[in-house]
Amino acid sequence: MDDRLASFDAQRTNLLRVAYRMLGSMADAEDVVQDAFIRWAATDRQTVRVPAAFLRRTVTRLCLDHLKSARVRRENYVGPWLPDPIVEAEPVEDVTLPLMLALERLSPLERAAFLLHDVFGESFDDVASSIGRGAAACRQLAARAREHVRRERPRFPVERDRGQAIAAAFYEAARAGDVTKLGSLLADDVRFHSDGGGKRPAAGRVLNGAGEVLRGLSTIIRLRRGDPELVRQAFVNGLPGFVTREADGMLQTTALLIEDGRVRAIYIMRNPDKLRHVDGMMH
C-alpha cells in the first residue's frame, strides 16, 4: 500500500488539475481524485503498464460521470455560476476563467476531448481510451470545442505588470468609492459576473455594458457597511485580481479580464462554499 500511495502521490497534482478544469469545483475535484485513489488501491498493478495514463483515464471517466449530476445542480443554481477561484502569485494561463465559463457551454465529451488534447497535450488515441470514443470522433469533439472557446481567448493579452497595475487601480477606486475613476477603467462592452450562490448578496444576473455595470458598482459601494481590506493582490484563475476581506469578515475574490488597457469583464466570487480553500491559503 505504501508503494501504491507513493506512485499515486506523484500524480496527485496533475490529476487535481485535470479534475478541477473538468468540473470547475475544487471540492468536487478533490472528491474525484480521492475516489480515483480508492480504485487505484484495488487495482491489480500487473495489469497497468503506465500508471499516469491509467490514473488520468480513471479521473476523466469519474469526472464525466460527475458532470451528469453537476449539470442538474447548475440549472438550479441561484444567480450566475462561476468556477471556484484559484489564487496564485503568478498567472497560469492554460485555462483562464473566461475559458472555463466557455467550457461550461460544451458537452462533457467535448470538454474532455478539448482539455485532454489541447491543454494537457494527450494524443487523440489516448483521449479515445479515456472517454470511450474513437480517435476520429475525439478529433471532431475537440474541433467543435475549439471553435466554441476560441472567441473567449483575449484578443490583446495584457502584460503581467500592466494587468496588476490596472487591478490595483480598480481596487483603490472601489475602496474609495470613486465611481468616476471606476468608469474610466471599464471597456464599453464590459460584463460583470458575481457569484453569491444564494449565500451572500450578489447580482442576480450578468450585467452588460459600462452604464449598467457602473450603476451596479455604485449600488454595491452605497450599500456596503465598511471598507474592504486588501488581503492579497494576486492572479485569480489566470487573470489579474485581488483577494479582499469584506466588512462582514468574509473573503471575496475579484478577477479582471483586461484587453487593450480596459477592463472587459469583472468576476467576483462571494459564495463562501467556494472560498473555503482560499481562506485556508490566506493563513
pLDDT digits (tens, 9 = 90+) for 92-145: 766 788 889 998 889 999 999 999 999 889 999 999 999 999 999 999 999 999
pLDDT digits (tens, 9 = 90+) for 15-43: 999 999 999 999 999 999 999 999 998 88
pLDDT at res. 72? 65
CATH no., domain 160-281: 3.10.450.50
pLDDT digits (tens, 9 = 90+) for 193-233: 999 999 999 999 999 999 999 999 999 998 888 889 999 99
pLDDT at res. 7? 84
The three cell numbers locating residue 5: 500511495
pLDDT at res. 166? 97
From-to residues of CATH 1.20.140.160 in the chain: 2-150
- Rounded (10°) angle between helices 51-75 and 124-131: 60
pLDDT at res. 155? 67
pLDDT of 154 strictly over 70 = no
From-to residues of CATH 3.10.450.50 in the chain: 160-281
CATH 1.10.260.40 fits 2-150, yes or no: no
% residues pLDDT > 90 (the chain) = 67
pLDDT digits (tens, 9 = 90+) for 183-194: 999 999 999 999
